Structure 1
Amino acid sequence: MENGSSFSDQKSDSLEAGNGSGFKVHVFSSSSELLEKLHENWSSVKKQPYPAMYSSTFGGIILDPAMMVIPIDDHMVHRGHGVFDTAIILNGYLYELDAHLDRFLRSASNARILSPFPRSALRSILVQLSAASQCKKGTLRYWLSAGPGDFLLSPAGCPTSAFYAVVIDDNFSQCKEGVKVVTSTVPMKAPQFATMKNVNYLPNVLSKMEAEEKGAFASIWVDEEGYIAEGPNVNVAFIIHVRSFSPVQDEGTLSGCTAKCWLLLGDFLAFTWKVGELTMALSDLLWDDMVAGPEVQRIPVPYV
C-alpha cells in the first residue's frame, strides 16, 4: 500500500544529488529481513489508515499493513486489466453496498473478467472485512483483476482471477459549501471504457491534477459536441429553474449510484426553495439517508 514515508523517499547516504553513479542497491538476503524493513517503514505511521485488507491470492483477511500487497505480475498492475468500486462505511453501516456491487459485477463482465466467487460470497467477504477492520467511518474499496500469472498482454496465462479489498479509515463529513470546477482539457475516455469502472484512471488523474493546478476542486469533461459529461470521479447534475433536478445521463458516462439515489430522494422535496437552498436540501436528504436510512440501503456491520 502507498504511504507518505515510502522507500522511494528515503535517500541513500551513498547517492549524491544529480549523480547516481555511487548508488548501490541493497539485496535482501531473506524474507525475514525484508519483512523487518517493511515493518520499519510503517513504524513511523501514527494511525493505521488501512485497518484491514482481503486478498484472494492469500485466501484471507490481512491486518498487518506491511503485508497488504498484490503480486507484481497481476494483470491489473502491468496491463490495467481490472475493475473496482467503492462503498461507504458510516456509523458502523455499509451504505448502498448492493448497488455498488451490482455495478462492480457489470464492469467485470464488460472487462471480460470472471469473478473467483459468486456474488453472495463477494458480499459476505466485504461485510466480514468491514467487521474485522473495526472501522466505523471510512470507505471500502474492492477490485476484480484478471489475476497474476505472467507479464504478457493476453490474460491466458493467468490461472484464475483475483479479488482484493481494503478498508480505508477516513473521517469524512458532509460538504456544506460549494466547490470551484473548471473545464478539463484532458480528452474524455471512449464510452466503452468510461461506462465500466476500470482501473485505467490516468485521464481522471490528469484531469484532477489540472483542476488543482488551477485552484479548483475538479475538472468537468465536455464531449465533442459541446455537451457536459462528467467529472473525474463525480457525476454532474443541474437544477433547472426551481422544480427540476436533472443529472447528466449519457451513454458515454459511468452510471452513478449516488445520482440515482438523489433522484429517488428528490421526490420527497416540495421544491419551493431557491436554487442554493435546494442543492443543500438534496445534500441533507442524502446525508440523512446515509446516517439513518432504511436497512435496505444500510447494512449493519457485525463487529465482534
Structure 2
Amino acid sequence: MREIIFLNGKFLSKKEACISIQAQGFQYGWGVFESMRAYKGEIVYLKRHLERAKISARAIGLTIPYDESKLKKFILEAARLNGFQDAYIKLIFSKSEARVDTIILVKEYFPYSAKRYKTGLRACVSSLRQNELSFLAQHKTNNYLFYQLAYLEAKNKGFDEAIILNSRGYIAEGSRTNIFLIRDNEIFTPSLECGCLNGITRRVIFDLAKRRNININEVKLALADLYNSQEAFLTNSLIGVIPLASIEKKMFRGRRNNYSLSDIFIKGYKSLLKI
C-alpha cells in the first residue's frame, strides 16, 4: 500500500512530501510533536493530544495554523487513507521560514504480544541525566536526541527501555515512557518537578486510580526506591500500560509471584480502549 503523508493541507505520496532544508525546524529541531495510536478507526485520546500540542507549540513560540476541528479531520483522513486497523500516528509542527509546517505521518503499528504484557519489559539505568530545571522537559519537542540516545544505549545493552535520572539523582522517566512503582500496595510516580513529561497515558492512570479510590503518590523517587519496589509498570500512548519485569539485574517480586497490582491498570486501560 502506498504511504500517504499529510503536509500543509495536502495528502501526498512520500516522494511528493518535501520540506525546506533551510527551515529552522529541520536545522534546529524547532517544533513539537505528538505520538498517537489509532485503533479500529479511532484515535486514542485525540483531544488530549491536540490540547497538549497547542500548549507545547505556544511554549516554544509557535502558532498552530489549524484549529482543533480541522486537525482532527486531517488526522482521521490520513489514518483512513493509509488503511491500517492498528496504526502509529505522528503529528508534527515544525518551524519553517515563513510558516509552521504541519505534518501527519501514519505507520502500521505492531503491538507487543499478550505474553509480553504478562512478562513485562526489561530496563537499565541510563548514563544520561535529565535537566529537570529546563521547561523543555515538559514538552515533546522535535529535538529528541537526548531520549533517542538513552533508548539506543538501552537497546545496545540488550534492554527494552532506559530509566533516566535527573541532575539530582531522582528518577525522571523512561526514554519513551512514564514509570510507576508499587510498594506495600501503594503506588508512586515521579512528580513533574523531577523532569518527567506529563504523558497522556500517565494522566489516564490517574483517572483510573481515582475511579477505584486508589491513591497515587507524586514524589521524588531515588533509584533505591525503584530497587525496593515489589512491582513497577510503564506507560505511553502506544504501548498503553505494560509491566516492568526488571531493572538491571533486579527482578520485581510481584511478577515472580504471579500477583500484580499493575494488572488493575493494564486491564483497566485496555477496557477503556476496548482492545
TM-score normalized with structure 2 length? 0.76
Partner residue, 1:61: 11
Aligned with 1:241 (options 148, 164, 184): 184
Aligned length: 228
Q: Find out whether 1:187 has 2:125 as its counterpart.
A: no
2:148 paired residue number: 205
Partner amino acid for 1:181? Answer: A
Change (3 A) 1:101 1:91: same
Secondary structure of the residue that 1:138 maps to in structure 2? strand
Instruction: Look up the equivalent residue of 2:37 and give its one-letter code.
Output: I
Paired residues of 1:138 and 1:172 also in contact (CA < 8 A): no
Q: How far 1:268 moved relative to its partner?
A: 4.6
1:134 and 1:223 map into 2 onto residues whose CA distance is 41
Q: Specify every segment of 5 or more residues in structure 1 that has no aligned partner in the other structure, as ranges.
A: 1-46, 148-157, 293-304
The alignment yields a C-alpha RMSD, in angstroms, of: 2.1
Give the C-alpha shift of residue 270 in structure 1: 8.1
| Superposed counterparts of 1:136-215, under 5 Å | 136-147=85-96, 158-173=97-112, 175-189=117-131, 190-215=133-158
Where in structure 2 are the equivalents of 1:1-304 lying within 5 Å? 51-56=3-8, 59-62=9-12, 64-147=13-96, 158-173=97-112, 175-189=117-131, 190-242=133-185, 244-251=186-193, 252-269=195-212, 275-276=254-255, 277-291=260-274
Q: How much has 1:73 moved relative to structure 2?
A: 2.1
Q: Using the TM superposition, give the Cα deviation of residue 162 of structure 1 relative to its aligned residue in structure 2, in angstroms.
A: 1.1
Q: CA deviation at 1:225?
A: 2.3
Amino acid of the structure 2 residue aligned with 1:52: I
- The superposition leaves residues 251-288 of structure 1 with CA deviations (integer Å, 9 ceiling, x where unpaired) of 322111101111212345587xx944211231121122
Task: Between 249-258 and 161-170, report the one with greater CA deviation.
Answer: 249-258
Per-residue deviation, residues 161-187 of structure 1 (Å, max 9, x unmatched) = 111111111121453322221111113
CA distance in 2, matches of 1:112, 1:282: 36
Identity value in percent: 21
In structure 2, the gaps of 5 or more residues are 215-230, 232-253
Distance, in Å, in 2 between the alignment partners of 1:118 and 1:180 is 40
Deviation, 1:80, is: 1.0
CA displacement, residues 83-118 of structure 1 (integer Å, 9 cap, x when unaligned): 100111112211101111111111101110111122
Which has a greater percent of strand?
2
Task: Tell me which amino acid in the other structure corresponds to 2:66.
Answer: F
Per the alignment, residue 41 of structure 1 pairs with none
Measure how far apart 1:65 and its partner are.
Answer: 2.9
Cα separation, 1, equivalents of 2:134 and 2:183: 26
**Structure 1 residues 68, 287: CA separation in 2 closer, same or farther (over 3 Å shift)?**
farther
Q: Which letter maps to 1:159?
A: A
Q: The residue matched to 1:71 in structure 2 has which SS? A: coil
Give the distance between the partners of 2:103 and 2:210, measured in 1 at CA.
Answer: 37
Residues in 1 aligned to 2:10 and 2:82: alpha-carbon distance in whole angstroms: 13
How far, CA to CA, are the matches of 2:211 and 2:187 in structure 1?
12
Counterpart residue type for residue 284 of structure 1: K
Aligned-partner Cα distance in 2 for 1:146–1:93: 28
SS in 1 for 2:261: helix
